[in-house]
Copies of this chain bind each other. A is one copy, B any other.
Amino acid sequence: MGIGNIFKAFQPKDKVFFVLFEKVASTLVEMSKEFHDGMLEFDLNDDRLLKRMSDYEHQMDDLTHEIFIQLGENFITPFDREDINMLASGLDDIADYMYASAKYIYLYKTPPTKEFSEFSLLIYKCCIEIQSALKNLKGFHNPAEVKESCIKINSYENIADDVLSQGLVRLFESDDPINIIKIKDVLEYLEVVTDKAEDVANTIESIIIKYA
Name the prevailing secondary structure of the A interface residues. helix
CA distance A104 to B54 in the complex (A): 32
Q: A71-B209, A75-B3, A209-B69 are in contact. Are A107 and B165 (CB under 8 A)?
A: yes
Q: How far is it, in angstroms, between the C-alpha of A180 and the C-alpha of B185 when the chains are bound?
A: 13
CB distance from A96 to the nearest CB of B (A): 10
| A73 CB within 8 Å of chain B | yes
Of A37-45, A133-141, A170-178, the segment with at least 4 beta carbons within 8 Å of chain B is: A170-178
Interface size on A, residues (CB 8 A): 28
Give 1 or 0 for each of A57-83: 1 = CB within 8 Å of chain B CB.
000000000001101110100000010
Give the nearest-CB partner of A181 in chain B.
B180
| Contact indicator B178/A178 (Cβ below 8 Å) | no
| CB <8 Å contact, A68 and B206 | yes
Contacts of A177 in B (CB 8 A): 177-178, 181
Interface residues of A in 144-170 (CB under 8 A from B): 165, 168-169
Copies of this chain: 3
Given B2, B108, B172, which contacts A72 in the complex, CB threshold below 8 Å? Answer: B2
Chain B residue at smallest Cβ distance from A209: B72
Known contacts A73-B2, A85-B206, A206-B68: A107-B178 contact under CB 8 Å: no
Name the one of B75, B82, B175 contacting A178, with C-beta atoms under 8 angstroms: B175
Structural contact, B75 and A168, CB atoms closer than 8 A: no
A180 in contact with B180 given A75-B3, A85-B206 (CB within 8 Å): no
Q: List 28 A-B contacts (CB under 8 A).
A: A2-B72, A2-B73, A3-B75, A68-B205, A68-B209, A69-B209, A71-B206, A71-B209, A71-B210, A72-B206, A72-B209, A72-B210, A82-B82, A107-B165, A107-B168, A107-B169, A108-B168, A108-B172, A172-B178, A172-B182, A175-B178, A177-B177, A177-B178, A177-B181, A178-B180, A180-B181, A181-B181, A181-B184
